[in-house]
Every structure is written in C-alpha cells, then in structure tokens.
C-alpha cells in the first residue's frame, strides 16, 4: 500500500516536471530569449554596478531630500496599513465562520476580500491613476485596497483558528454576541492580528517604493528621477536607504512580535 | 420528576446525513447518565441539540418544563445559563488566566456592557475562588490557561460551567484527550458534582468501562438511534449491540488490509 503510494507520487512529480520543462522551452521560444546571452550578461552587470552604482561624496548632499521622501513613503505605508486593518477587523468579524451574523454577508465579504487581494498593487495603482492622477492619494488607495483584501482574509483565518472553540463555550454559557467578541475573540486573536498588520507594513514599504515610481511620489519617485538622469551614485544611495529602512522595520516588528506573542 | 425530556428528536445534515433519527428519552433530576456509541453515532449532535448549539430538524426538547425550541433568542440565552457545557478540547480562552476563564461562566447573567468590560461583582469573584478551590486549582488562579496541563484545563472548564449555577451539565467526551489517571480525577469530580450538588449530568463517553463505573444509567446510540436505555451493567451482547457496526467495520478494515 505504501510503496504503491510512493510510486504514484513519483509518477506525478515526473509528469509535473515534464510539463514544467515544456512550458519553459515554449516561453524561451515565444519570447526569443537568448539563454546563453542571458547568463553571460550577469558578470557584465556586476562589473557595471561596481563601477557606477555606489554612493560617493557628492551624493551625500542628497541625504536630506532622500530622507524627506523616505519619510513620506514610510508614513504612506503605515497609514494605509493601519486604516485598512481597522476596516479589515470589521469585515473579518462578519466574514469569519465563527463570528458571522449572516451567511450571505459572509460569502460576500469573502468574495470581495479575495478579489481585492488578488489584484496586484501595481494594477490597483494604474486603475486609480485615472481617478486621482499622479498623487500620493493614488498610492495610498492602491496599498489600502490590497491590504484590506489581504488582512480581511488573514484576520478571518486567525479568528476561526484561534477562537472557534472558546466562542462555542461562551455561546453555550449564554453570553451575547458582543460579550463573546470582547471576552473570547479579541483576546485570542489580537496578537496574531497585530503580527499580520506588522507583516503588511513591511510588505507595503516595499510596494510603496514600486508604486511611487508609477505615481511620482515618495522614495520610488526620487530613485526613478536620479536613475533616469544618470545620477547613479545618488540612486544607489536611495537603494541603501530603502534596504536600511526595510531591515529596521523588520527588526522593530520582530521585537514587537516577541513581546506580544 | 423529569428535568429533561426528549421527544422524537431528529437531526438531518444536508440531504443525506441523518445524524439523529427519532430519539426519545427522559432524564430525572440528579441522574448521572452516560451516552455511549461508536464515533459518528450522533452523540455530539444529540448534546448540542439540547441547548440548541445545533438546531434539530424536528422534535421537542423539554428542559425544566420549557420547550427549548419555543424560545426566542433572549430566552434561549437565559436557558443556556442553566445548562453548563464541558468539551473534549476544554474550549478555554487560552491567553487569559484561570480566574478570567472561570468568570466567563457568569456572562449569561450580565448586561452586555458589564460583560464586554469584564466587570464582575465581589460575590461572583468570591464564588469563583470557592469553586476553583474545590477543584484544586488554587495555585493556578492567575496562571494563563496555555500554561496548564490537560487535566487542569478540564478542571477550569468544569469550574466555568459550575459558576453558572446550572441545573444540568452536558459533557461531550470530557476525558477523550486525557490519560487514564487524569481521566479518573475528572470523572470523580463530575460524579461528585452530581451526588453532592444534585446537578444532573449527561456525559458522552467513548470508554464503556468508565460509563459502566460511574453512571446511574446508560444510553447507547448507534447510527442516530437509541439502541439501549437502561442500567449501567452491560452484558457483552449489549455492548456488541451498541458498537455493532463499528466492530463490523473494524473487521472489514482488517480484511481489506490483508487482501491488498
Ligand atoms: N456540521 C456537520 N455537517 C454535516 N454532517 C455532520 C456535521 N456534524 C456532524 N455530522 C455528521 O453527523 C453524524 C453524527 O456526528 P456526531 O454527532 O459528531 O457523532 P459522534 O459525536 O457520536 O461522534 C456523523 O455522520 C457526522 O459525520
Ligand atoms: Mg463527538
């Protein structure tokens, strides 16, 4: 019985890799991708980077300007994530199997959350460019919608995972809906929800950089500006700051996680 | 006097699963009854149809002279305060302390706001400490429940049910996740509650020997039907009658394994 299962699994993985290989070959042909050139380019790219793409003394003058833009991007991410988290909490309560008040509403919320989450943030930005033009509002709402979708799903799963059983117990003891929410659901799921929110802040700082290129705001904009005007030293400094920020945020959120979990 | 009467209770899940079919029995005040049967027989469904955690498809449940299925939402909350429930997985809020979990048993008696804020009266707290003492958890009062052993968690579960001042306890496999020594402690507590406090106990069990040791009466369920309702000293034939199909399946499983 076990050997059979093993053989079956091996057969499946063989089929899977064959299909993968076919797809890879097909896409190389379709896109006219020169494989050898693709790989031989890598050393050249590295050489170019070491020659041009490093911060020098001149570029240090740009630091105040970079910091202003960086602050803009970080605030944008934090603001969109926290506001989205507040909305997501409500949606998740009405969408989760454990705490929903209406089956239809739950399905509706799940559907919308999935849709929002699955539209990439760049696509959101492009859609919103029509309404808000090149402004931080576009970036804000692009991040907001994706985060709302993602956090609603994550919060719903957290609620179902961590508080299903205690909710049953409190309900059986005659507790009312809001008593159950505040006495069982929130104490059980809040730490994990905060953890998800921190994760989204990290993710959104990365996304905000990218979206900024599109919307002409924040750190993404200034990177694009320097890069396109051949100020590679300044552009590289921007990258350094982005990396430092991402690490710093990750450090902070790991610390917070350790404390609350 | 009958505290609980179950009449023609039927529960259908979806189009196919008939979890309970025409269940009838009654329970006298202070009785200790075990419900046994193979897994999937409908034991959990039966218990939850009594306090309407699951709504039965048809039939009646009369508890303390009231038809449970006639009650509106508010009256149902009131009724549920009179029925404590104990679970296999304890169903505690693990991140809260023992005392906080025990006091949750009072929520059904409180206004929504007082409950949300977790404001309990001195009398309620005094009672909580008393019950915690009886169950031997005095040293754990301010410990978080995720730091407790399984047996301790189940005792918190029992304390939470007791502080409701219930007339009846519904216990859904209270010892299924515990080892035999701890199981004995829990079963002794339940038995004590029944004899000393006169609280009626309806206990789903998987272990026939435990059921025979502790019960005043045993109800055997198989495939959603009551197939036995009588004294706790079961004969092997009666055990086979209750668990019949599971034993049969077990034999078929073994046969199937040998064949392949
Ligand atoms: N929520 C549900 N939806 C559909 N079928 C269910 C559900 N809960 C239980 N059942 C089915 O009802 C039958 C009785 O289940 P249950 O009451 O849990 O049995 P027991 O507690 O005796 O193991 C089983 O066949 C089970 O698969
Ligand atoms: Mg069960």
Output DSSP code: residue B59. Answer: E
Claim to verify: residue A90 and residue A45 sit in the same structural domain: no
Claim to verify: residue A67 and residue A164 sit in the same structural domain: yes
More confident: A55 or B105: B105
Please, are residues B44 and B20 in contact by the beta-carbon 8 Å criterion?
no
Q: Does the Cβ of B11 fall within 6 Å of ligand 1?
A: no
The closest residue, in CA terms, to atom 12 on ligand 1 is B19
Confidence of residue B245 (pLDDT cuts 50, 70, 90): low
Claim to verify: residue A44 and residue A63 sit in the same structural domain: no
**Weakest-pLDDT range from A157-171, A234-248, B189-203:** A234-248
Residue with tokens 């609603």: A152
| CA–CA dist A78, A85 (Å, integer) | 10
Q: Among A40-54, A59-73, B58-72, name the most confident range.
A: B58-72
Q: Which residues of A are less than 8 Å from B91 in CB distance?
A: 165-166, 168-169
Q: What integer pLDDT is reported at residue B255 of this predicted model?
A: 40
Range of the structural domain that residue A246 is part of:
59-260
| CA–CA dist A144, A168 (Å, integer) | 33
Q: What integer pLDDT is reported at residue B31 of this predicted model?
A: 96
Nearest Cα residue to A217 out of A120, A74, A54: A74
Q: Which residues of B are less than 8 Å from A165 in CB distance?
A: 87, 89-91
Tokens coding A125: 């930005």
* Mean pLDDT of the region B85-103: 97
Query: How many domains does one find in chain A?
Result: 2
Q: What integer pLDDT is reported at residue B110 of this predicted model?
A: 96
Tokens coding A167: 């909710």
In this predicted structure, the answer to whether residue B260 has a pLDDT above a threshold of 70 is no
Claim to verify: residue A76 and residue A138 sit in the same structural domain: yes
More confident: A230 or B114: B114
Task: From A30, A52, A74, give the residue that closes a domain.
Answer: A52
- DSSP assignment of B116-180, as one string? HHT---HHHHHHHHHHHHHTT-GGGTTSBGGGS-HHHHHHHHHHHHHTT--SEEEEESTTTTS-H
pLDDT tens string A123-159: 999 999 988 888 889 999 999 999 999 999 999 999 9
Confidence of residue B222 (pLDDT cuts 50, 70, 90): very high
In this predicted structure, the answer to whether residue B229 has a pLDDT above a threshold of 70 is yes
Confidence of residue A33 (pLDDT cuts 50, 70, 90): confident
Q: Does B71 touch chain A (CB under 8 A)?
A: no
| CATH number of A242's domain | 1.10.3720.10
pLDDT tens string B69-85: 999 999 999 999 999 99
Claim to verify: residue A171 and residue A242 sit in the same structural domain: yes
Ordered by where they begin, the domains of chain B are 1-82+169-260 (3.40.50.300), 90-165 (no CATH)
Claim to verify: residue A72 and residue A126 sit in the same structural domain: yes
CA–centroid distance, residue B144 to ligand 2 (Å): 27
pLDDT tens string A84-112: 999 999 999 999 999 999 999 999 999 99
| CA–CA dist A92, A97 (Å, integer) | 9
Claim to verify: residue A23 and residue A123 sit in the same structural domain: no
Q: Which residues of A are less than 8 Å from B81 in CB distance?
A: 173-174
Confidence of residue B248 (pLDDT cuts 50, 70, 90): very low
Sequence-separated contacts (24+) of B217-221 with Cβ below 8 Å: B217/B31, B217/B32, B217/B33, B217/B34, B218/B33, B218/B34, B218/B35, B218/B36, B219/B25, B219/B33, B219/B34, B219/B35, B219/B36, B220/B35, B220/B36, B220/B37, B221/B23, B221/B35, B221/B36, B221/B37, B221/B41, B221/B42, B221/B43, B221/B46
Claim to verify: residue A232 and residue A200 sit in the same structural domain: yes
| CA–CA dist B193, B124 (Å, integer) | 19
In chain B, % of residues over pLDDT 90: 88
Confidence of residue A35 (pLDDT cuts 50, 70, 90): confident
Confidence of residue A260 (pLDDT cuts 50, 70, 90): confident
Helix (H/G/I), strand (E/B), else coil: A120: coil
Q: How do B17-28 and B2-13 pair as beta strands?
A: antiparallel
Claim to verify: residue A77 and residue A206 sit in the same structural domain: yes
**What radius of gyration do chain B's Cα atoms show?**
19
Confidence of residue A54 (pLDDT cuts 50, 70, 90): confident
Claim to verify: residue A64 and residue A40 sit in the same structural domain: no
Reported ipTM exceeds the 0.85 cut: yes
Nearest Cα residue to A211 out of A101, A114, A105, A137: A137
pLDDT tens string B120-157: 999 999 999 999 999 999 999 999 999 999 999 999 99
Claim to verify: residue A81 and residue A208 sit in the same structural domain: yes
B79, B91, B96: residue with CB nearest A169: B91
Residue with tokens 């039907």: B225
Q: Does B126 touch chain A (CB under 8 A)?
A: no
The closest residue, in CA terms, to atom 5 on ligand 1 is B13
Claim to verify: residue A139 and residue A15 sit in the same structural domain: no
Q: Does B108 touch chain A (CB under 8 A)?
A: yes
Please, are residues B200 and B194 in contact by the beta-carbon 8 Å criterion?
yes
* Mean pLDDT of the region A161-169: 96
Q: What integer pLDDT is reported at residue A244 of this predicted model?
A: 93
Please, are residues B174 and B88 in contact by the beta-carbon 8 Å criterion?
yes
């Amino acid at each position: 019985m076990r050997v059979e299962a093993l053989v079956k699994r091996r057969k499946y993985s063989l089929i899977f890799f064959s299909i993968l290989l076919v797809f890879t070959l097909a896409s190389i042909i379709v896109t006219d991708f020169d494989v050898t050139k693709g790989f031989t380019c890598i050393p050249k790219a590295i050489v170019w980077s070491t020659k041009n793409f490093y911060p020098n003394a001149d570029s240090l003058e740009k630091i105040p300007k970079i910091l202003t833009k960086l602050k803009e991007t970080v605030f944008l991410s934090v603001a969109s994530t926290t506001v989205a988290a507040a909305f997501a909490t409500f949606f998740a309560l009405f969408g989760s199997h454990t705490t929903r008040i209406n089956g239809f509403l739950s399905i509706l919320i799940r559907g919308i959350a999935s849709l929002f989450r699955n539209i990439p943030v760049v696509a959101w930005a492009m859609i919103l460019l029509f309404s808000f033009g090149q402004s931080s509002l576009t970036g804000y709402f692009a991040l907001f919608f994706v985060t709302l979708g993602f956090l609603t799903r994550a919060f719903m799963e957290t609620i179902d995972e961590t508080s299903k059983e205690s909710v049953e117990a409190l309900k059986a003891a005659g507790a009312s809906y809001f008593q159950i929410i505040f006495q069982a659901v929130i104490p059980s799921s809040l730490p994990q929800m905060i953890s998800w929110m921190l994760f989204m802040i990290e993710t959104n700082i990365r996304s905000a950089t990218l979206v900024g290129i599109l919307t002409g705001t924040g750190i993404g904009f200034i990177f694009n500006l320097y890069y396109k005007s051949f100020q590679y030293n300044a552009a590289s400094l921007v990258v350094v700051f982005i990396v430092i920020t991402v690490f710093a945020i990750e450090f902070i959120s790991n610390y917070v996680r350790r404390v609350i979990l | 006097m009958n505290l609980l009467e179950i009449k023609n209770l039927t529960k259908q899940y979806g189009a196919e699963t008939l979890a309970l079919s025409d269940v009838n029995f009654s329970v006298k005040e202070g009785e200790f009854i075990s419900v046994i049967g193979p897994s999937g027989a409908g034991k959990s469904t039966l218990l939850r149809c009594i306090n309407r955690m699951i709504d039965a498809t048809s039939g009646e449940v009369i508890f303390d002279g009231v038809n449970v299925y006639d009650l509106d939402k508010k009256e149902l909350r009131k009724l549920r305060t009179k029925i404590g429930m104990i679970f296999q997985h304890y169903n505690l809020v693990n991140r809260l302390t023992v005392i906080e979990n025990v006091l949750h048993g009072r929520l059904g008696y409180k206004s929504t706001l007082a409950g949300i804020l977790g404001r309990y009266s001195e009398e309620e707290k005094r009672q909580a400490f008393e019950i915690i003492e009886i169950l031997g958890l005095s040293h754990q009062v301010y410990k978080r429940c995720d730091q407790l052993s399984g047996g301790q968690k189940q005792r918190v579960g029992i304390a939470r049910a007791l502080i409701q001042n219930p007339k009846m306890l519904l216990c859904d496999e209270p010892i299924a996740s515990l080892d035999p020594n701890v199981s004995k402690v829990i079963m002794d507590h339940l038995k004590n509650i029944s004899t000393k406090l006169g609280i009626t106990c309806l206990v789903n069990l998987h272990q026939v020997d435990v059921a025979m040791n502790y019960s005043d009466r045993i109800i055997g369920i198989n495939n959603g039907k009551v197939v036995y309702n009588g004294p706790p000293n079961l004969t092997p034939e009666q055990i086979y009658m209750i668990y019949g199909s599971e034993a049969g399946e077990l034999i078929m499983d073994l046969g199937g394994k040998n064949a392949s």
